[in-house]
Structure 1
Amino acid sequence: MPESGAGDDSRFVTVERTDHIAESLTESEEGASSDGVLAAFARRVAAGESDTALQALDQLDRTDVKLLEHQVNAAYRALFEMNGTALLADEVGLGKTIEVGMILKEMHHRDTSGSVLILTPAQLAKQWQGELSEKFGLEYVCNYDDEFVDFATHDHVIASIDTAKSDRHRETVLARDWDVLVLDEAHYVKNEETERYSLIDQLRYRYAFFLTATPIQNELTDLYNIISLLRPGLFGTRDVFHNYFVDTNDTLVNTEELQRRLGQVMIRNRRAETDIDFTDRHIDTRTFPPTPAERELYELVTEYVTGAYSQDQGQKLVLMLLQKEVVSSPAALRGTIQKQLHDQEHLDSRDDLRSILDAIDAIETNTKQQRLTDIIDQARETVDKGRVIVFTQFRATQATLLAGLADAGYTTHAFHGGHSSAEKETIVADFEREGGILVSTDAMNEGRNLQFCNIMVNYDLPWNPMKVEQRIGRIHRIGQDRDVYVFNMALEGTIEEYVLERLYSKIDLFQQTVGELSTILSGLEQSGQSFEDAIFERLLDAGSQIELENDFDAMAVDLSEQQELASKMAEFNDGVFAGFDLGADRDMPAGGVAGAQTRLGDHE
């Protein structure tokens, strides 16, 4: 295969790559880059400062982030061996976000990250923001923040890639010269015919870090497209790449050359080659029959929501909220109904809303709240300090639970988005020291590490499994040394039960990681319909309970197919990279991969 260089692409202002850091230093000092990472690296050495390690490590609070050896090595290699242009392709669960956080912290320390753009899937943007802030002290504005203006106003931005490519923002994003680009879930840009690919292809940036656990999803061309965005020219043209690395039988060939070129830009650590021992996760879903009064309230709300949506689809978010609140608590539902009454101008609707308020007043027993104590009592008997985290989506439900638990003699802690950063730190510290019950809204989802607790309860259920996994991820993560127990609660015959039993449990979505879920849900996302929208519309369109059950069964089949595809993608990636030295084992001789062949057609 002909030798291919980095190409004459104006988006990159980097020094020439060498295989040894000493050579990189020499070339940096000669002026290959006046203000880049390696130039700063060289200046510090020339001044007598030690640069044999990542300097920003000393700035980190090790209670906030526990760095593992493979993560530190990945950050170091990406910065100083790959000239700040790397594809971080660790297997799921090994902490690619931590690696990028370490990279950005080091660049910030060296004053080489004036403007940074981090593009993620929409559902991960806030999580990135929280992790960078709380683990690395790096403050970024997110496009979902109230203070976000546009991509020209802020120097450190986290945004969904779809927001960045939108008609409203695309021109502004492309008009700017970014110092650093971070692209999460880089396999989203594997297709060169999409607007996402086009956006990244046209962006101007100096350094770039792409993340994906699945660099290849369908065929080897996926890898080519991603690498070509990151390091143009590394593999030559698409035809040359395919003809050289795939023979007429669709078998991978010339693996040593592929390894050599990938080694210039790609880092891939595998779980089996780390010392990380992930504990088991146990899921216990409990459904309870509602009281007659609770059943009547649920049916009244569902009937109102269905009728109101047929008349005015513009109310969709409010109506969806009502359907979630009715299975959470009467208190949560009451506040929204009262607001609707205040805002509603049509007399017929006011009558329906008053009927719902009357039904709320008729409820004497809160079934889920009563049954919550059964779970907590079990935890008290078997777990250190009886620590349990209870998640709810609604502040009114949180207040009700806290009052009831306190009256029953439990030690309680409240966590929600209204607390300041200092207050949140104190709350978590008190929970760790005192034990008891932490009742939290989904504000806890963002970047909190709570491995000292291993039991959580989903008191009410987000309809997006990604949000559920982010909840679980607070306790089931690197550093957890005990098995994790997750309890899900639902009333029988409600939308919550259908989501649990016919979607989540049926295809075992609770056992998937965030990265795996992202892959499974990507087909639905690409259709332009969110997971929550799909659930809501099935509820509205069903003419009977049997039809609703059948609709959810059909949705489960669709998700199962996506799950099988995601599994094949993972197998395919493992097969292509089997035996490759991509950073996990630096001492493996190159000859160890000679002759390796992987069938490509089996997993397409």
Structure 2
Amino acid sequence: MGVDHLGDWCYSPEHGELCRVIETQTLWGETVCRVWLPGKDAVVRVPAARLRPVQEASVGTVDGIAYLAAAARVADALTQDVLLAPIESSVIPLPHQIRALSRAVSNDRVRYLLADEVGLGKTIEAGLIMRELKLRGLVRRTLVIAPKGLVTQWVAEMRTHFGEEFRLLIPSDFSAYRRIAQEDNLWQSHPQVVCPMDSVKPLDGRRGWSREQVAEYNRERFEDLISAGWDLVIVDEAHRLGGSTDQVARYKLGQGLAEAAPYLLLLSATPHQGKTDAFHRLISLVDAQAFPDVSSVTKERVQPYVIRTEKRRAIDAEGKPLFKPRRTELAPVSWEDRHRDQRLLYEAVTEYVREGYNQAMREKRSYIGFLMILMQRLVVSSTRAIRTTLERRLEALEAPQEQLTLFPMVSEEEWADLDGQEQMDTLLKTRLEALTNERAEVKLLLEAAKRCESQGPDAKAEALLDWIYRLQAEKGDPDLKVLVFTEFVPTQEMLYEFLTERGFEVVCLNGSMDLEERKRVQDTFAKDARILISTDAGGEGLNLQFCHVVINYDIPWNPMRLEQRIGRVDRIGQTHTVRAINFVFEDSVEHRVCEVLEEKLAVIFEEFGIDKTGDVLDSAQAGQIFDDLYVEAILNPDVVETKVDEVLKSIQEQARESRQSVSVLGSVEDLDPGEAQRLLAHPLPHWVERMTVSYLQAHGGKAERKNGAWDLTWPGGEQLSNVVFTSKEAAERPLSRHVTLENPKVRGLAMRLPPFAPGQPVPVITLPGLAQEIMGFWSLWRISISTADWNRRRIMPLFLADDGRVFAPTARHIWDQLVVTKPTILRHLDVETSHQAFEQLLEPAERQGKTIYDELVQAHRERLAREREKGEYAFAARRRAIERIGLPQVRNHRLSLLEQEEERFHEQLERRAQILPEMAPLLLVRVEGGTHG
């Protein structure tokens, strides 16, 4: 073809799209054009002879029109904050989860603290946000950091609810991974990774290690992790990153993770535990500029970064309360005459603990003190638990003296996260040094424990059996499922044998089991088994809504542990009142503490309007308070009441602080139960299907319907078989391939829409059911603004009737019809008439598009205003800090540097304030209503 003018539009068959000539050069008889391909936003060189007139572009076909109409609808939905993840997911989100997702993606900077109360499904919310970002093409690589006990739950939930495969990477296994993976940086070997929090925090040093060993450890675990190129980082139980100071390893880990990805989600039910400095460290990870110092932690500043729902406000899709009531009771177990030796064993161990603890404290050997306290918890758990531990302790005491040590190799943070069994294993493996006369004491206690075991079942085991039968009778359900919790594996083993011998089908869970074993146990409990016995570590991450009875066979001293146990069944989807029964020996120290505590805690919680312990006591400080209380009660049984009163005063203060600190997280709006139904009914998947199929049929590919699914062939020859587009079809046909906007090729069809070129012949169409009087030109226009760092666009339909009037509802109606119904092409207008039609539409398009343009500009200005306010606040805080410096030379130098930085910040804002508007035509047809033969 001849190219007459620069700026001419033409068609490039080689690229399958319209292009615009921006330069021509004739050399040695060959004319070559540089052309701009808007669909790819690229400039290429093409021989002029290969360019065709615009009339040859395929938009004038039925499939070409259907593709553009559907693709523009998809592109517009992506700019209108339509939520893709719920539409494309197998999860049916609850109203509060929809609200969380909607808030999270309403902002460019997806960096939030998800602070829903316990049990509201923050994992699901994080999964929805991840899926949303993936479907929008913004995220490919995701890292999840969670406490050790929750990592397997993350892998399972992402697979079950979202079909997302995450790889669990544990740094201690890296030598084994290296034999399989070739990467220098193992964190890059998988696009989606889960890893335990404490396995990747940086070390300052370790006893017995050289500086080089520490550096190598930090490089492999921390530095490689941070530099592995993540798009999204999710941290569960994120309040642990706050640390007690900004020098704590977990906080340093948090700082690294905050800088490792543009998108960040911190999950915590209790982010503000009454300590503003720790909360400041946590919230500053989300946005360091917005929170430069502790004084910046105000309700107004924090609220935009926090997404929170309270349990009492949570509703289901019908608008009913999401959670059932719960009933908790203390069940004292009495020692009968036949249990006399067991009672004597309890008293002897308590005396051993009392003396051993006092001696350990005098000698400043705190870990021996921990061991003594664990002995007390073991003796109230079971005879077998204390017997096996005494055997292991005696073995350590009889080892050569040089094999014994003073301290276990575990940090305070890690120690607090261990359950009773894990603490016991840590201490016994460390082979701690003996106390005076300890070997003789342990031998005597061990003989007493063996004697007790030989006499028959423990008193508590018999009480458990009675309770199971009683509950069956009360509920009228012989197959009633019961979840039994114990702190210790030997007690678990004893109960398994005891109940199995009496005809019950029993399964067990503890912290040593891997993901597959855990899943197998949960499945068996859901189907056939009637009793599940779990340790605290085994119970982490369990979802057991199908069971509503929990028996706490032994009671952890920290009430929060108890709360977490009951939370395994008191979850979304629970249909019964939850029943929790807490066993405790009558007339024991533990009984006296529990009795007084329970009664008085209830009064405090009522006074503050708190539902349960977990709403105020989920903190390391609370755990320490209760440990100290029980220790004091064991050492000085006569002062139990006084000590409980002291603790209650402290809790009262914590409750007051908790209420105040929670208010910093912001108010919670009422939820709309209809939001989920509206989302699930959204036609987006059908638009994606229409767009993809029509594109292939219009551009030389193939789309064949076979047995309710599609076989697709792309113009380049790539094939996809057995394809479906909706999550409903995917659920009904598990072997099919579910194609969504996450597929880059499919998403590209919507995001790279070719423009309509003046001079393209305009098709004349009609649509079924269109009123006879509808006569005029219908068009689609992309209105966009671009700045130095921001692009926003909207799609506008326009209908100009033959009488010169513009009808917005008719424009929208025709667009609706085109994405569900194939038009009939009656003819094409000639080039001259097509040109005139385009010119005629320019002025009304500009007039109508101005409203959309103004909205985009306003949104951009508001965004810049927020950035300006945040930046100025941060500079002011830094200035105040510098002005406190005593040395005038240092102070003035730093103020000068700050002033230069602030000038650069304002210059950058000015550049970003410059807006480039664009209005591009995408599709133009003449519409003629009525019947056409």
Quote the residue 1:577 is aligned against: 667
Write the letter of the residue equivalent to 2:313: A
Counterpart residue number, 1:327: 380
**In the alignment, residue 306 of structure 1 is paired with which amino acid?**
R
Q: 1:584 to 1:147 in 2, by over 3 A?
A: farther
Judge conservation of contact 1:185–1:212 (CA < 8 Å) in 2: yes
Pairs within 5 Å for 1:190-339: 194-195=246-247, 200=254, 203-204=258-259, 205-212=261-268, 229-233=285-289, 265-269=305-309, 271-272=312-313, 274=315, 275=319, 276-290=321-335, 291-309=339-357, 310-311=359-360, 312-339=365-392
**Matched residue of 1:362: which SS?**
helix
CA contact (8 A) 1:187 1:226 kept: yes
Structure having the higher Rg = 2
User: In the alignment, what sits opposite 2:155?
Assistant: 133
Structure 2 CA distance, aligned partners of 1:476 and 1:561?
27
2:448 equivalent in structure 1: 359
Matched, 1:448 2:542: yes
Give aligned pairs, total. Answer: 512
Which residue identity lines up with residue 267 of structure 1 in the other structure? I
- Structure 1 position 382 matched with structure 2 position 474: yes
Distance 1:216 1:405, change over 3 A: closer
| Structure 2 unaligned residues grouped into runs of 5+ | 1-39, 43-70, 160-164, 176-184, 206-216, 399-433, 679-933
Q: Return the offset for 1:234.
A: 5.5
- 8 Å contact kept, 2:489–2:535: yes
Contact persistence 2:166–2:194 (CA under 8 A)? no
* 1:82-114 deviation digits (Å, cap 9, x = unpaired): 442233344554322321133345567869353
> Which residue pairs with 1:522 in the alignment?
619
Partner of 1:118: 145
Question: Match for residue 209 of structure 2?
Answer: none
Distance (Å, rounded) in 2 between the aligned partners of 1:300 and 1:442? 27
**Alignment partner, residue 577 of structure 2:** 483
Q: Cα 1:131–1:516, aligned 2, differ >3 Å: closer, same or farther? A: farther
Return the alpha-carbon distance in structure 1 between the equivalents of residues 140 and 610 of structure 2: 30
Question: What is the deviation of 1:213?
Answer: 5.5
Q: Does residue 1:394 correspond to 2:467, yes or no?
A: no
- The alpha-carbon deviation at position 510 of structure 1 amounts to 11
User: Is contact 1:141–1:154 with CA below 8 Å preserved after alignment?
Assistant: no
Question: Does the residue aligned with 1:386 lie in a helix, a strand or coil?
Answer: coil
Larger deviation, residues 515-524 vs 328-337 = 515-524
Change (3 A) 1:547 1:166: farther
Q: For residues 380-430 of structure 1, give each alpha carbon's deviation from its aligned partner in whole angstroms, at most 9, with x where no partner exists.
A: 123342211111122222222222223333333333445554443343333
TM-score when normalising by structure 2: 0.47
Report the CA distance shift for 1:582/1:190 in structure 2 as closer, same or farther (over 3 A): farther
Q: Counterpart of 2:394?
A: 341
Partner of 1:182: 234
Quote the residue 1:41 is aligned against. none
1: CA distance, partners of 2:642 / 2:387: 31
Residues 348 and 214 (structure 1), Cα distance of their counterparts in 2 relative to 1, 3 Å cut: closer
> Is residue 462 of structure 2 the alignment partner of residue 370 of structure 1?
yes
Q: How far apart are 1:324 and its partner, in Å?
A: 1.6
Question: Quick one: structure 1 residues 549 and 141, their matched pair in 2 at CA, closer, same or farther if it must change by over 3 Å?
Answer: farther
Q: TM-score, normalised by structure 1?
A: 0.69
Aligned partner (choices 113, 117, 128) of residue 102 of structure 1: 128
Q: CA deviation at 1:513?
A: 9.7
Do 1:388 and 1:453's aligned partners in 2 also have CA atoms closer than 8 Å? yes
**Amino acid in structure 2 at the alignment position of 1:358:** E
Query: d(CA) in 1 for partners of 2:490 and 2:278?
Result: 47
User: Among 193, 201, 205, which residue is 1:164 paired with?
Assistant: 201
Distance in 2 (CA, whole Å) between partners of 1:434 and 1:380 is 16
Residues 377-526 of structure 1: matches in 2 within 5 Å?
Answer: 377-383=469-475, 384=477, 385-434=479-528, 436-503=530-597, 506-508=600-602, 517=614, 519-522=616-619, 524=621
Query: Does the 8 Å contact 2:548/2:569 carry over to 1?
Result: yes
More displaced 10-residue stretch of structure 1: 309-318 or 203-212: 309-318
Alignment partner of 2:642 out of 550, 553, 556: 550
SS in 1 for 2:380: coil
**Structure 1 residues 199 and 337 mapped into 2: Cα distance closer, same or farther (>3 Å)?**
closer
Q: CA deviation at 1:469?
A: 1.8
Query: C-alpha separation between the residues in 1 aligned to 2:526 and 2:168?
Result: 30
- C-alpha deviation, 1:335, in angstroms: 1.1
CA distance in 2 between partners of 1:558 and 1:142 (Å)? 41
For residues 61-82 of structure 1, the C-alpha deviation after alignment (integer angstroms, 9 at most, x for no partner) is: x6xxx63243145235424644
Shift of 1:480: 0.4
Take 2:275 and 2:585, find their aligned partners in 1: how far apart are those partners? Answer: 44
CA distance in 1, matches of 2:173, 2:345: 39
* Cα distance in 2 for residues equivalent to 1:584 and 1:269: 17
Query: What root-mean-square deviation, in Å, do the aligned CA atoms of Structure 1 and Structure 2 show?
Result: 4.8
- Deviation (angstroms), 1:279: 0.5
Q: Which whole-Å deviations, capped at 9, do the CAs of 1:9-42 have from their partners, x for residues lacking one? A: xxxxxxxxxxxxxxxxxxxx989xxxxxxxxxxx
The one-letter amino acid paired with 1:404 is F
Deviations along 1:32-63, whole A, 9 cap, x unmatched?
Answer: xxxxxxxxxxxxx89x9997654597575x6x
Q: 1:452 to 1:354 in 2, by over 3 A?
A: same
Alignment CA distance shift 1:392-1:53 (3 Å) = same
Contact 1:87 1:210 survives alignment (8 Å): yes
Distance 1:463 1:160, change over 3 A: farther
Identity between Structure 1 and Structure 2 (%):
27
Which of residues 658, 665, 682 in structure 2 aligns to 1:566?
A: 658
| Residue matched to 2:923 | none
Relative to structure 1, is the Cα distance of residues 233 and 405 closer, same or farther in structure 2, using a 3 angstrom cutoff? Answer: closer
Partner amino acid for 1:356?
Answer: L
Give the partner amino acid of 2:334: P
Q: Sort the Cα spacing of 1:436 and 1:358 in 2 relative to 1 into closer, same or farther, 3 A.
A: same
Compare 338-347 and 501-510 and name the one that shifted more.
Answer: 501-510
Give the letter aligned to residue 331 of structure 2.
Answer: R
Amino acid at match of 1:114: R
Q: CA deviation at 1:517?
A: 3.1
CA deviation map 1:186-245 (0-9, x unaligned): 677889974477765564132112345577777999998866542455689998x79xx9
Instruction: Kindly indicate whether the alpha-carbon contact (under 8 Å) linking 1:282 and 1:486 is maintained by their aligned counterparts in 2.
Output: yes
Separation (CA, whole Å) in 1 of partners of 2:673 and 2:262: 23
Q: Distance in 1 between matches of 2:284 and 2:149?
A: 28
Deviation at 1:565, TM superposition (A): 2.3
Structure 2: which amino acid aligns with 1:116? L
Does the aligned pair in 2 maintain the 1:463–1:532 contact within 8 Å?
yes
